[in-house]
Structure 1
Amino acid sequence: MATSGTDLGFEAELFKAADKLRGNLEPSEYKHVALGLIFLKYISEAFQLHRSKLLQEEYADLEDPEEYLAANVFWVPPEARWEYLQANAKRPRITFSDVNTGREREGDIGSLIDNAMDAIERANAAVLKDVLPKDYGRPQLDKTMLGELIDLFSRVGMHAQGQDSRDLLGRAYEYFISQFAGAEGRRGGEFFTPRSVVQTIVEMLGPQNGRVYDPCCGSGGMFVQSERFIENHQGRRSDIAIYGQERNHTTWKLCKMNLAVRGIDADIKWNNEGSFLNDAFPTLKFDFAMANPPFNISNWWQPQLEGDVRWQFGTPPAGNANFAWLQHIIHHLAPRGTAGVVLANGSMSSQQSGEGEIRKMMIERDVVDCMVALPGQLFYSTQIPACLWFLARDKGANGHRNRKGEFLFIDARNLGHMVDRTRREFSQSDIARITEAYHRWRAKPEAELGEHQDIPGFCRSVTLEEVRKHGHVLTPGRYVGAEDTNDDGISFEQRFGELRNQIQMQFAQSRELEEAVIEALAGVNSGV
């Protein structure tokens, strides 16, 4: 019987079962095997579901691709349909028609899957050209394992009754990506930003409409969460347009598949050079930008970047791209645009190679809105402490109060909980605490979110003058102070007086004891 996928934790159960089949295959290699089959399973079921609806229509042509494409459903040719693959999953040799040559040939289940991927790409080239993995037929891949994976995924009904099919498959796909990221460690972090970090950025910015941009988009997590935010706030997906760039071709494929299974239309560009050397959207401006760039990369600079129009706050150092990313993103913001960027903690205080001067210029020109210090162990890729920069082109726009010359500092280092030995995660209440503090701070009084209150040890609103006194350093710990753990209504003066009286009494007792000891020693000496 097929699993409905509605039980809590079905993604974890599915991954656990699939991981048992991995054998000696490295997670980085197995990732593409498993994710490609999940994708194939989903689009085949979506196709069959729509086919069933067409059966009820008198004049529908079941084999006309336009009937499916018009409903935003991928056309799946007969040789790529899941039931065909499942029927041949355990056969050692299969004769099939090669979609590239049109000739009959013999192969195994791996060859059949590659042929299916080719067929789907050809039929849906506008979205899937050069996206799907097609190396299942290589001799090194265990074909018994492939057959067992097909059987495993066949038992999961991705289009269960009462469930949004895209969301259900998306959950599985996203969970698999996160687990592979954890297994790959540092390399995994290159394509995956932890969901709770992404959700924090998205909830802070609130992308309801306009253009959304990520210049190093990885597997597309920022975009998925943006779509989810819109749906949770009764918005329409069509109200936002998504743009992204990714220089790793394999990761670009993951992103395209991730968005496709969510039904998200997006313009995701790939090139080898990356956003600095080959900006895919040189003239576009965006309402929201969200990014988790690689931390502290040192091999990014090229001579042709000298004097680039993006370096409006100063030329970033050749040995560290942190302030290149910030300036690239600010350059692409629309006049009322806002951004959230993950960077290493050093970006908040570094004075090396002119970074301090660039940060000072950004502060003085008032594009920094809020800084959030994050706890350690949030990321798969690094143990380097990280922070969130929130930027705003116009701090008096978008229906919020005028915050010009003001900054909000949030110290979230004590939030989060450990999900395993090595990694921490924000809970929903942690995310709400951070985002609500920001929203109250920037809201107009009539928004009825409640008045902003500084909370010692957690958040504080600060003026430009105070930031100047701290040398334009943006570390939240410098500003929020220490948490008051003994707030019992007793004033500092009263508490200090009590402590002074107590220590004076203890000193007096100490002197009495000292005199008693001296007197006792004198008696012993006189008796000798």
Structure 2
Amino acid sequence: MAKKNNNKKEKSIEESLWDSANKLRGSVESSEYKHVVLGLIFLKFASDKFEERRKELISEGKEKYIEMKEFYNMKNVFFLPEESRWSFIIKNAKQTDIALKIDTALNNVEKNNPALKGALPDNYFSRLGLDSSKLSALLDTINQIDTLRDKQTDIVGRVYEYFLSKFALAEGKGKGEFYTPKSIVNLIAEMIEPYKGIIYDPACGSGGMFVQSVKFIENHHGSKKEVSIYGQEYTATTFKLAKMNLAIRGISANFGGKPADTFHNDQHSDLKADYIMANPPFNQKDWRAANELINDPRWHGYEVPPKSNANYAWILNMVSKLSEHGVAGFVLANGALSGGGDEYKIRRKLVENNLVEAILILPQNMFYTTNISVTVWILNKYKKKQTKEVGEETRQLRDRDREVLFMDLRQMGEPFEKKFTQFNTDHIAQITGTYHAWQQENSDYENIPEYCYSATFDEIAKKDFSLVPSKYIEFVNRDENIDFDDKMKALQTDFAELLKAEEKSKKDLLNVFKELGYAIEL
């Protein structure tokens, strides 16, 4: 008898919860359903923390304070009135008006906690008309999350992050802009090392950049109390996701109070950030009218970014926000590396002003919304020789005046969800190791064909200020002496021979049918 295979990988709690929750979606679109599921995850988390604090007060003999919100807020715990508590929701889960009860619960949580203003789903449950039996089953699924089970593991944060990524995958191309793939966020965080100071994201989506920044700090034995977070998001529903995402992790942030367009309503106009991390919309068209924002101070010293494409408007917005020693890591479409016109003039000045530090080409299919290859830019306001502290480590940096590190990462990565690519921890360690070695005094950095090259200002000037990595990185398998005309003539001859062979095969096939008595007329 064949042995039963016991090597089947056991599903994680995130995977099991997703499978259960997704089966209950029915006809509700993923773009809507995510707010239902993530809102319930948040409510479960907030309620568990509330109940834990409530028991703590009782054990301390402070029962008379258990309904006073101040005694919860002082411990960074949200106060929940009775009708907003998870126990109340579960008790009424089988009622036909459970959707209304959930909407009321979320609304009351916001009312009692000013920090959550504008964060929670607003009347989603009643409006979507989710079948009450499916909603009840979904509540049972969410009820499986024990948010307090392991104090050392961020269970609810892991579940929330997993669900964000799965919803982004489900929404696919043209949607899902609220989420930047985790491995890209990790790469940027490990490169710019946002250890302490002000962190800013002008297009913060669901807040993933901030979450990974805080994880970076914790991994290097720092304190999240030493960072201040500022972000802005235009889409109202995504704005809610970001506030919930950070609230779940106890991260304080200033999102400017409301969803708003960063260009037309900059809610952090006077901000100077030590670290900027961003994944702004790619190739955003018509971001301003012809005569709008012409004299905006963010473009001071540069040309006005063209209204046909916002890529350089995002870059200059970030440059204007950098502190004296600030560094920015962000993602843009590859077209920004070589465009002409005003984009060329801005790019040239960025290089001349010694702001561009590194350019990294990423593999294709890393984003869920597009299959194009994109670029990570690192801008550094202060590239001169200095020391840098990261956790317990101090590095002596070299003078990299107007040098730029180019990296081609298109051969790296591993398959993810069948059709996507992601970096694993080894990839990120290799990339960031190369970058930090290049930065350091007396390091063993060296240019590596088909991977990295450190270009001087003169080399970049000779390439007319193009920032396309392949113009600098050596490709050993590429023959630079190929004559284009000769190559095309050879291909032309080969193609003609292929067409002749195809025509002969077609005639032979027709003759076979004719001999069998089945003539075919073409």
TM-score by length of 1: 0.84
Contact map agreement 1:43 1:74 (CA 8 A) in 2: yes
Shift of 1:267: 0.3
Correspondence 1:452 to 2:445 = yes
Contact map agreement 1:196 1:425 (CA 8 A) in 2: yes
Of the three residues 281, 287, 301, the one matched with 1:294 is: 281
1:125-177 superposed Cα distances (whole Å, 9 cap, x missing partner): 2x11122113212362211111111111112212104444xx21111111101
Contact map agreement 1:249 1:270 (CA 8 A) in 2: no
Match of 2:84 in 1: 80
Using the alignment, how far apart are the partners of 2:364 and 2:118 within structure 1? 38
Match of 1:407 in 2: 404
Query: Superposition pairs for residues 163-178 of structure 1, below 5 Å?
Result: 163-164=152-153, 167-178=154-165
Contact map agreement 2:356 2:402 (CA 8 A) in 1: no
Using the alignment, how far apart are the partners of 2:36 and 2:62 within structure 1? 39
1:97-144 superposed Cα distances (whole Å, 9 cap, x missing partner): xxxxxxxxxxx000110111111111112x111221132123622111
Tell me, what secondary structure is at the counterpart of 2:59? coil
Contact map agreement 1:456 1:484 (CA 8 A) in 2: no
Tell me, what secondary structure is at the counterpart of 2:139? helix
1:504-526 superposed Cα distances (whole Å, 9 cap, x missing partner): xxxxxxxxxxxxxxxxxxxxxxx
RMSD: 1.6
Between the aligned residues of both structures, percent identity stands at: 43
Match of 1:325 in 2: 314
Of the three residues 221, 235, 241, the one matched with 1:248 is: 235
Using the alignment, how far apart are the partners of 2:430 and 2:215 within structure 1? 19
Using the alignment, how far apart are the partners of 2:376 and 2:104 within structure 1? 44
Tell me, what secondary structure is at the counterpart of 2:326? strand
Letter in 2 for 1:408: L
Correspondence 1:131 to 2:124 = no
Match of 1:468 in 2: 461
1:54-91 superposed Cα distances (whole Å, 9 cap, x missing partner): 22102352222211111111111111111111011012
| Comparing 53-62 and 114-123, the one that deviates more | 53-62
Contact map agreement 1:77 1:119 (CA 8 A) in 2: yes
Contact map agreement 2:232 2:259 (CA 8 A) in 1: no
Letter in 2 for 1:211: I
- Structure of greater Rg: 1
Contact map agreement 2:44 2:142 (CA 8 A) in 1: yes
Using the alignment, how far apart are the partners of 1:148 and 1:459 within structure 2? 52
Query: Superposition pairs for residues 431-442 of structure 1, below 5 Å?
Result: 431-442=428-439
Using the alignment, how far apart are the partners of 2:257 and 2:379 within structure 1? 26
Shift of 1:189: 3.3
Match of 2:344 in 1: 356
Of the three residues 8, 19, 27, the one matched with 1:16 is: 19
Match of 1:25 in 2: 28
Query: Superposition pairs for residues 113-128 of structure 1, below 5 Å?
Result: 113-125=102-114, 127-128=115-116
Shift of 1:271: 5.1
1:441-493 superposed Cα distances (whole Å, 9 cap, x missing partner): 11233xxxx421211111111111111111111111221212589xxxxxxxx
Contact map agreement 1:372 1:410 (CA 8 A) in 2: yes
Q: Which runs of 4+ in 1 moved over 4 A?
A: 270-273
Shift of 1:282: 0.9
Shift of 1:273: 4.9
Using the alignment, how far apart are the partners of 1:47 and 1:271 within structure 2? 26
Using the alignment, how far apart are the partners of 1:328 and 1:483 within structure 2? 38
The runs of 5 or more residues in structure 2 that have no matched partner are 1-9, 389-396, 479-522
TM-score by length of 2: 0.85
Cα 1:65–1:483, aligned 2, differ >3 Å: closer, same or farther? farther
Contact map agreement 1:121 1:128 (CA 8 A) in 2: yes
Contact map agreement 1:189 1:379 (CA 8 A) in 2: no
Contact map agreement 1:207 1:229 (CA 8 A) in 2: yes
Using the alignment, how far apart are the partners of 1:224 and 1:272 within structure 2? 19
Letter in 1 for 2:271: L
Letter in 2 for 1:266: A
Correspondence 1:424 to 2:428 = no
Shift of 1:434: 1.0
Contact map agreement 2:233 2:260 (CA 8 A) in 1: no
Match of 1:99 in 2: none
Contact map agreement 2:118 2:258 (CA 8 A) in 1: no
Cα 1:246–1:110, aligned 2, differ >3 Å: closer, same or farther? same
1:387-408 superposed Cα distances (whole Å, 9 cap, x missing partner): 0110011111553322112111
Using the alignment, how far apart are the partners of 1:151 and 1:421 within structure 2? 30
Match of 2:383 in 1: 395
* Corresponding residue pairs, total: 456
Of the three residues 24, 43, 48, the one matched with 1:45 is: 48
Cα 1:391–1:65, aligned 2, differ >3 Å: closer, same or farther? same
